[in-house]
Structure 1
Amino acid sequence: MTTQTLLPIPQHFDPQRVGEVWRVPYQERAAEAAAWAKRYGMQPAAGDHRRTCLLAVDVQNTFCIPGFELFVGGQSGMGAVEDNIRLCQFIYRNLGSITEIVPTLDTHTAMQIFHPIFWVDQNGEHPVPAATMIHLEDVEQGRWQVNPAIAASLMQGDYPALQRYTLHYTRKLTEAGKYPLTIWPYHSMLGGIGHALVSAVEEAIFFHCIARSSQPRFELKGNNLLTENYSVLRPEVLEDSQGRAIAQKNSALIDRLLAFDAVIVAGQAKSHCVAWTIADLLTEIQAVDPSLAEKVYLLEDCTSPVVVPGVVDFTSQADAAFQGFAEAGMHRVQSTEAIADWQSLSQSVTKDK
């Protein structure tokens, strides 16, 4: 078997269970994966001639399981579940072509700048999650202020410093043309079930790990209390009002991704964490060599935008972002296409240039 051969999907995979939470039977799957690798002649990933990375962004229960805090329904209403059925099938079919899988994990605690407890209005009420955006003028005019009760937990009781920081933070978002500060429901809580990978996706990643002798590289993001972190490559704000660093770019991951021959991106949500991650990757690529954008493949049928019926629909923004990525040289692809065909796509783009 060559690494370009599409494999069958193992019998244990049940698409009807992708929208559920359950325990992966690791030992059983490990034995099956080892036998699967032997049956189809798969070699350890370390020997891959063409090194391909799958970057799976925030494929977690909190975003992907109906009824959880920030389920990404997309326009179909079941977007993340449908995406993950296709993502699992993609992983199984392409076990021999994927060198490494990098799952990112949105990781939060309660007292973060985008959670309700952080803020109060003039009546001492917290903002309504998913329906409140805090703009610079809201902070300037005192419509939203830092909750005094949390200061001791964040800045050694220095409430004025915390209040000054929020003014700086919302100003930086405005100056950079980013989304206003969105207040989200408590989600992806560290130690909670919402933080975990979707069971079916975790099982597929584990199966790949054993079959290809390739340890997945788990990347945690979002645990900084004082900044949003949609992208796994960098938080929204890096410095405080005095120019002192409060966070850093994920330079190690950036360098690792750029070293692969191909980087495939999937996950949730297309309009937020996926789009932000791709945008930051493109910025890093353009600073080094814009032609490197051709090595990036956007698995567009394995990602959905944030849609809250009657409240907000980010579909057009997500589509516009992906169109911009394509114009920069990245490829919009489908999970049913063979990775081998993508290589010829890159070659044809190079010839056209």
Structure 2
Amino acid sequence: MKNAFLIIDAQFDFCHPDGALFVPGAEQDVARIATLIRQHAQQIDHIVVTLDTHRILDIAHSLFWHDTSGNHPEPFTPISAADVDAGRWIPRFSAEKARQYVHDLEADGQFSHFIWPEHCLIGSRGAALHDTLLEALKEWSGVRNLDYVAIQKGLYPLSEHFGIFRAQVPDPDVPETQLNTSLISDLERFENVFLMGEAKSHCVANSLKQILDFAPSLVPRLVVVTDCMSDVAGLGHLGDPIYAEARNRKVRFVESSAIFR
């Protein structure tokens, strides 16, 4: 049980030019991941794919909020705690929890609240794995007689769930927002855990941050595959401090061509 792949959110909406939240470069990332899986099937002992999955009325989607005139925020609108306190943006659902969430998220210091295009909607094409990756996974399963593991995140509508291991602001009454200790235990079985996927600036970065913070046993096993991830355009700076921390913690960073040398 030597090598595991942890592939973050390699889905249509992020990885296809027609996707709702296309990440430039993601198509090439997926192609490199698929090539790795095909060329090194016998060396890859476990594959976990994560699936960002949302409802329409999600706290990070436009329809969740309105202003005093009833207008919804446009995608890519930031919403600060000050905006909420001043009534510039008003939550339409679970108002008290939503206001507290924005404050808690901001206090955490990593991300402020942000409105995204509706993406990875449950049951939609956008929530599915990119076809290029899916075909490679099917071939790997046939070669190794193993199934890949798929883990959904993001269905709780009152918190972002960038990192795979827990929601940004866990709710003590909602189990799927809590730290996923079973996933940590699953990955602890392997000597190397190769991290890749989309987007480098957000869900990959935050998954990495959660390993650094909550799963120190995985840190010496972790390998970040640098050419199998890309940033949301213009937002790469959000992940930079996390990758710097990882380098300081001696996490390994390699390109895909070098991981099985």
Query: Per the shorter chain, which TM-score range?
Result: over 0.9
How far apart are 1:134 and its partner, in Å?
0.8
Instruction: Give the aligned partner of residue 72 of structure 2.
Output: 126
**Residue number in structure 1 paired with 2:230:** 304
Matched, 1:195 2:127: yes
Among candidates 70, 74, 79, match of residue 21 of structure 2: 70
Equivalent residues of 1:232, 1:277 under 8 A apart? yes
Distance 1:317 1:171, change over 3 A: closer
> What is the CA-CA distance between 1:92 and the residue it aligns to?
1.2
Give 1:274 deviation, angstroms: 0.3
Q: Deviations over 1:240-265 (max 9, x none)?
A: xxxx4333121111111122211001
Equivalent residues in 2 for 1:1-353 (5 A)?
A: 50-73=1-24, 79-130=25-76, 132-147=77-92, 151=93, 162-239=94-171, 244-246=172-174, 247-286=177-216, 289=217, 292-307=218-233, 313-339=234-260, 341=261
The answer for the alignment partner of 1:345 in structure 2 is none
Distance, in Å, in 2 between the alignment partners of 1:88 and 1:326 is: 26
Determine the C-alpha separation between the residues in 2 that align with 1:121 and 1:338. Answer: 50
**Cα–Cα, structure 1 residues 212 and 251, in superposed 2: closer, same or farther, change >3 Å?**
same
| TM superposition shift of 1:81 | 1.0
Q: Deviations over 1:301-327 (max 9, x none)?
A: 0000110xxxxx122333442232122
**What is the letter of the counterpart of residue 109 of structure 1?**
R
TM-score (norm 1): 0.71
The whole-number CA distance in structure 2 between the counterparts of 1:185 and 1:255 is: 34
Instruction: Describe the superposition over 1:327-346 as per-residue Cα deviations: whole angstroms up to 9, x where unpaired.
Output: 2121111111142x4xxxxx
Q: CA deviation at 1:128?
A: 0.2
Say if 2:208 and 2:242, in contact at 8 Å, map to a contact too: no
**Two-structure CA RMSD over aligned residues (Å):** 1.4
User: Partners in 2 of 1:139 and 1:315 — Cα distance?
Assistant: 26
> Which runs of 5 or more residues in structure 1 are unaligned?
1-49, 74-78, 152-161, 308-312, 342-353
Secondary structure of 1:218's counterpart equals: strand
Contact 2:53–2:127 (8 Å) recurs in 1? yes
| TM-score where L is the length of structure 2 | 0.95
Q: Write out per-residue CA displacement over residues 232-288 of structure 1, whole angstroms, 9 at most, x where no aligned residue.
A: 10001113xxxx4333121111111122211001100000000001110121233xx
Could you tell me which runs of 5 or more consecutive residues in structure 2 were left unpaired when the two chains were aligned: none
Q: How far 1:175 moved relative to its partner? A: 1.4
Contact map agreement 1:122 1:143 (CA 8 A) in 2: yes
Matching residue's letter, 2:32:
R
Q: How many residues align?
A: 259
Counterpart Cα distance in 1 of 2:154 and 2:84: 23
Secondary structure of the residue that 1:298 maps to in structure 2?
strand
Q: Are the equivalent residues in 2 in contact too, given 1:139–1:166 (CA < 8 A)?
A: no
Q: Contact 1:305–1:314 (CA<8 Å) still a contact in 2?
A: yes
**CA deviation string 1:183-227 (max 9, x = no partner):** 111100111111110001000011111101111111000000111
Point out 4+ residue stretches in structure 1 off by more than 4 angstroms.
none
Give 1:172 deviation, angstroms: 0.6
Partner of 1:19: none
Aligned to 2:7, the other structure's residue is in SS state: strand
Q: Match of 2:149, SS? A: coil
Q: Is the 8 A contact 1:270 1:305 kept in 2?
A: yes
**SS of the residue aligned with 1:336?**
helix
Q: Percent of pairs identical after alignment? A: 32
Shift in Å at residue 170 of structure 1? 1.0
**3-state SS of 1:264 partner:** strand
